[in-house]
Structure formats: C-alpha cells, structure tokens
C-alpha cells in the first residue's frame, strides 16, 4: 500500500502546476470538445456518400430481397443526417453551458435550494447530490426532443419503432427515478470515501467501484431489467435443447435461459449472457428467435459462449479498472486546485476550498481528449474479441469432437446476415468511421473472417 502511495505522490508532484498556475482551462475544454465533435462530423461526412451506392457488396448481393438494400441505405442516410445534427446541437449546448458558467450557477442554485430547507454549505454531500441532479435534469431537457424525434420519426419511418408515447413517458420517468434511487446513495458513498480516506482515497475508491459493479451484475437482471422488459423462460423446444446441450458440453454454468420481449420497444434483435462466474443466464431476443432457424440461433449463442470461454467480459472489466485507476491517480492534482474552478467561473469562496464533486466534474471535462483515445482503443479491443468469438464458433467441432457442428461458421454467417438485413444495418462502411465508432467488425469483414477461420482449420487438420 505504501509503495502505491509513493508512486501516486510522484504523479502528483508532476502535476503540481495545476494547483498554482492560471491556465485557461475553459478555453482548453472548449477547444478539445469542439475538435472531437468536428472530427465526428467529418467522419459522418466521409460515411455519407456510401449511402448512395446502388448495389450491396458482392458477397452480400444474393442475400438481399429486392428493395431491402435500398431500404437499408435510406435508413442509414436518415440516421447519419440525424447524428450529424444532434452531435452539433449537443456540442453547441454544452459549449454555451460552459461559456456562461452554468456549472457554477448550478452549484449555487443547489446551495440556495438546500438553504431553504435549513441545510448550510457545511452539508457538502447533500449539496453535491442536488447539484448533480440539477445538472442532469436541466441538461437532459433540451435533448429530450432529439430522443423523441429519433424514436417517433426516424425509427418509426423505417418500421423499427414499437414504442407508444405512453410507454416512452413511463420509461423516461422510471429511468429518472431509478437514476436517483441508485445515483444518490452511490454519489453519497463516493464522496464520503474521499472525506474519510483523505489523500489516500485511490485504493479505497477502487474497491468501492469494483464492489458496486459486482452488485450491479446481480441487481441489473433481477431488479432493474424487469422494470423495462419481460424475461420469460425459453419454452421447451428444439432451440432450448440445442442451447442446453451446447452449454453442458462446454461446462458453461447455465442457470437460466430466457427469452426477452425486445420487440416491445424495437424490432432490433440480439442475444447475450450475464451473471456471476458460477451462475450464468442467457437471454435471447424474441425477434431473433422469430427471424432465424433454431440452428442459426444456436450459432449466435455459440459466438456468445466464445466470449465467455475467452473471458472477454472479465478482460473488459480489468481494462476498465485500469482506466478508472488512471483517472483516480491523476485526480488529486485537480482536487485542491482553486485556479481550475476559477477558470470555470466559480466564485472565489467556492474555489478556495473546491467541493470534491465540482473538482471531479471539471476534471472529467479536462480529460475529454484522453477519453476519446481510450474509446478508440476500447473499440479496437472489442473488435478483436469479436474475431475470437467468431473463430471459437467455427472451431467448436474440434473442441467438442462433434461433426454436427462442422457448419457452425455457415450458420453463424446466415444468422448475422439475417440480423443485418432485418435491422437494415449499414453494409458499406468507411474504414475510419468504422475504426472510430464500431465495437464490432462489419458484416462483410466477419463473413470473410468466418470463411478464413474455416480454411485455416482445415489446413491445420491436413
């Protein structure tokens, strides 16, 4: 522990200038956030002309019924236009909020609100909670019309929206209540640890965050998801037997096998698994079951089990812990730094003793460029995991010595094509756009990958 703290204090000494120098942090955040938004707009502009292509890639041509490719191009075009507009709109909003001291205003508004009910500025944690929810609520209001437009105009036009206005409103209220019910105690505990551990907060906060994530792994499927969707056990069927056998042969600790009514909100489809290491649950979208044959759904599940086999979720979690650790290790330099708060328009008396939550929020904004790089790297890692899981499905026949699985690669390919065609997913993708945004390889890349895994496998055998 002491070794860790010595190392951390070396980092702090390097960053000591933050607490003393008058750097124009606001200008810095404005410049970088605009740079990120403009880069994302540039990517959309690169991608846009591809929606005017009149033919699908040759490998996919035979899978599109007449008219379906045109539909997917029109859907892609509408989504891209919407993304360009909403990206710029949100950035303008953030930029204005930043420029005119919205954060400083929210902090003092939270203070006056609490003063009315008799709590003074010594109640920092209470004020922080009110502050965060004021920010969250006020900044989500102007973007609400965007969500409405995306759901009831864009998705509706292309036949994906299954949401009624009533369901939309109840979902929204549920998610607000839920973020308060979970967010307030989380924030209180988070801030309490800072107070209690002082400058040695890093390992304690790490332990707390890991604990919280583990609790969510249990709470999300059992308490939270049922608020929005219905999970029902997958009825006895060919599909159920296939998946149970597959899980049994791989020693996957399958506890429950569910079908989820994803079609209640949207006709996009998928499958996933979750749970603690000794008790896992597989969830399949009703839409996937309707549109693919049981042996194809089995191949999708085989791909998912590939993620489990190669410990992908655990690896992702380890990477995200490292990410959180880096953020926390850099943070103390910003924790006691009046000039940072001053440059975001906070009054002298607040800046003199920065409230932890304010310092943390501003620090997060300062990290924008770093976070953009991290997200590109995470997408690259995730794409690599997708390759591994696809290869796993192809090689299952050897792993399990089961020749009935020899066509797993083809079945997965069929299922992926069906998913893509039904979801009207984009088939022509700009490489830079894909590298930045996509957590999955494109369909054409995956089909080519599945083929080459199969070829390599056969060569190995010979």
Q: Which one, 63 or 303, has the nearer CB to Zn ion? A: 303
The span of 36-44, 222-230, 366-374, 384-392 binding Zn ion (CB under 5 A) equals: 384-392
Q: In angstroms, how far is the first alpha carbon of the chain from the final one?
A: 54
- Rounded Cα distance, 331 and 363, in Å: 7
Asked whether residue 384 is marked as a ligand-binding residue, the answer is no
In degrees and rounded to multiples of 5, residue 402 shows phi and psi of: -120, 110
Q: Which stretch binds Zn ion (CB under 5 A): 47-55, 191-199, 332-340, 383-391?
A: 383-391
Catalytic one of 40, 390, 395, 430: 390
Nearer to Zn ion by Cβ, of 335 and 416: the residue is: 416
# residues near Zn ion by CB under 5 A: 2
Stretch that binds Zn ion, among 13-21, 27-35, 231-239, 387-395 (CB under 5 A): 387-395
Radius of gyration of the chain (CA): 25
**Is residue 155 annotated as part of the catalytic site, yes or no?**
no
Lookup: tokens for 411: 């079945």
Q: At a CB cut-off of 8 Å and minimum separation 6, what does 431 contact?
A: none
Closer to Zn ion by Cβ: residue 239 or 301: 301
List the catalytic residue out of 40, 124, 155, 304: 304
Contact 438, 385 (CB under 8 A): no
**DSSP structural state of residue 235:** P
Place of tokens 């990290």: 367
Residue 303 Cβ vs Zn ion, minimum distance, rounded to whole Å: 6
- For 233, phi then psi, to 5°, come to -55, 140
Give the integer Cα–Cα distance in Å for 385 and 294: 24
The DSSP-derived string for 30-70 is: HHHHHHHHHHHHHHHHHHGGGGG-SS--HHHHTTSPTTHHH
DSSP SS3 for 114: helix
Tell the residue number behind the tokens 């039904």, with chain if given: 422
Task: Provide the minimum distance between the beta carbon of 388 and Zn ion in the complex, in angstroms, as a whole number.
Answer: 9
Check if 304 is active-site: yes
Q: Would you say 332 and 19 are in contact if contact means Cβ atoms under 8 Å apart?
A: no
Q: Enumerate residues 34-63 that contact Zn ion by CB under 5 A.
A: none
Contact between 423 and 155 (Cβ < 8 Å): no
Binding segment for Zn ion among 48-56, 196-204, 244-252, 389-397 (CB under 5 A)?
Answer: 389-397
CB 406 to Zn ion: min, Å: 21
Minimum Å gap between C-beta 392 and Zn ion is 10
The three-state secondary structure class of 191 is: helix
The answer to whether 268 is annotated as binding is: no
Binders of Zn ion in range 214-273 (CB under 5 A): none
Residue 277, CB-side half-sphere exposure with 13 Å CA sphere: 4
Q: Over the range 261-274, which residues count as b (16 or more CB within 10 Å of their CB) and which as e?
A: ebbebbbbbebebe
Work out how close the CB of 271 gets to Zn ion at its nearest, in angstroms, rounded to a whole number. 9
| Residue numbers 290-329 binding Zn ion by CB under 5 A | none
Whole-number minimum distance, CB 299 to Zn ion, in Å?
12
Give the residue with the Cβ less far from Zn ion, 130 or 418.
418
C-beta of 355 vs 441, nearer to Zn ion: 441
Stretch that binds Zn ion, among 57-65, 284-292, 386-394, 447-455 (CB under 5 A): 386-394
Say whether 172 sits in a helix, a strand or coil. helix
Closest separation in Å from C-beta 224 to Zn ion: 22
**Residue closer to Zn ion (CB basis): 308 or 334:** 308
* 150: Cβ contacts below 8 Å, ≥ 6 apart: 82, 86
Residue 303 known to bind ligand: yes
**x-or-dash string of contact with Zn ion, 338-377, rule CB under 5 A:** ----------------------------------------
Q: Which is nearer to Zn ion, 155 or 304 (CB)?
A: 304
Evaluate the CA torsion angle 384, 389, 394, 399 in order and state its sign.
Answer: positive
Q: Which residue positions form the known binding site?
A: 303, 307, 386
Catalytic residue numbers read: 304, 390
Q: Which residue positions form the known binding site for Zn(2+)?
A: 303, 307, 386
Task: Note the residues at the interface with Zn ion (CB under 5 A).
Answer: 386, 389
């Amino acid at each position: 522990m002491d070794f860790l703290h010595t190392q951390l204090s070396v980092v702090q000494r390097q960053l000591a200038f933050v607490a003393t120098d008058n750097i124009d942090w606001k200008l810095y955040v404005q410049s970088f956030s605009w740079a990120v938004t403009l880069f994302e707009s540039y990517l959309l502009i690169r991608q846009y002309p591809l929606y005017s292509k009149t033919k699908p890639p040759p490998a996919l041509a035979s899978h599109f019924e007449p008219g379906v490719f045109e539909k997917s191009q029109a859907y892609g075009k509408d989504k891209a236009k919407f993304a360009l507009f909403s990206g710029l709109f949100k950035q303008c909003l953030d930029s204005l909020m930043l420029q005119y001291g919205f954060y400083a205003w929210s902090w003092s508004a939270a203070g006056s609100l609490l003063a009315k009910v008799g709590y003074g500025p010594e109640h920092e944690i209470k004020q922080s909670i009110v502050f965060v929810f004021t920010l969250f609520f006020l900044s989500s209001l102007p973007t609400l019309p965007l969500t409405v437009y995306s759901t009831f105009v864009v998705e509706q036009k292309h036949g994906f929206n299954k949401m009624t206005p009533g369901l939309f409103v109840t979902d929204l209220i549920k998610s607000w209540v839920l973020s308060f019910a979970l967010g307030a105690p989380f924030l209180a505990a988070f801030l309490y640890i800072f107070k209690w551990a002082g400058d040695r907060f890093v390992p304690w906060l790490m332990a707390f965050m890991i604990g919280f994530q583990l609790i969510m792994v249990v709470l999300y499927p059992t308490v939270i998801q049922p608020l929005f969707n219905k999970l029902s056990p997958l009825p006895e069927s060919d599909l159920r037997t296939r998946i149970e056998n597959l899980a049994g042969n791989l020693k996957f600790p399958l506890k429950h096998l569910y079908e989820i009514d994803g079609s209640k909100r949207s006709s996009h489809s998928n499958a996933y698994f979750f749970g603690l290491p000794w008790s896992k649950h597989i969830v399949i979208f009703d839409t996937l079951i309707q549109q693919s044959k049981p042996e194809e759904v089995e191949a999708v599940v085989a791909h998912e089990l590939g993620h489990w086999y190669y410990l992908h979720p655990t690896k992702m979690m380890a990477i995200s812990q490292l990410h959180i650790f880096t953020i926390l290790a850099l943070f103390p330099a910003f924790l006691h730094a009046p000039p940072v708060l001053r440059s975001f328009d906070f009054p002298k008396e607040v800046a003199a003793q920065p409230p932890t939550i304010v310092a943390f929020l501003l620090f997060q904004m300062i990290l924008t460029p770093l976070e953009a790089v991290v997200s590109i790297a995470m997408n690259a890692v995730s794409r690599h995991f997708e390759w591994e899981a696809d290869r796993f499905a192809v090689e299952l026949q050897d792993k399990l010595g089961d020749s009935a699985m020899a066509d797993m690669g083809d079945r997965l390919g069929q299922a992926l094509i069906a998913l893509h065609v039904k979801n009207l997913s984009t088939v022509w993708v700009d490489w830079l756009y894909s590298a930045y945004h996509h957590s999955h390889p494109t369909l054409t890349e995956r089909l080519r990958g599945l083929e080459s895994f199969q070829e390599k496998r056969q060569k190995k055998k010979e």
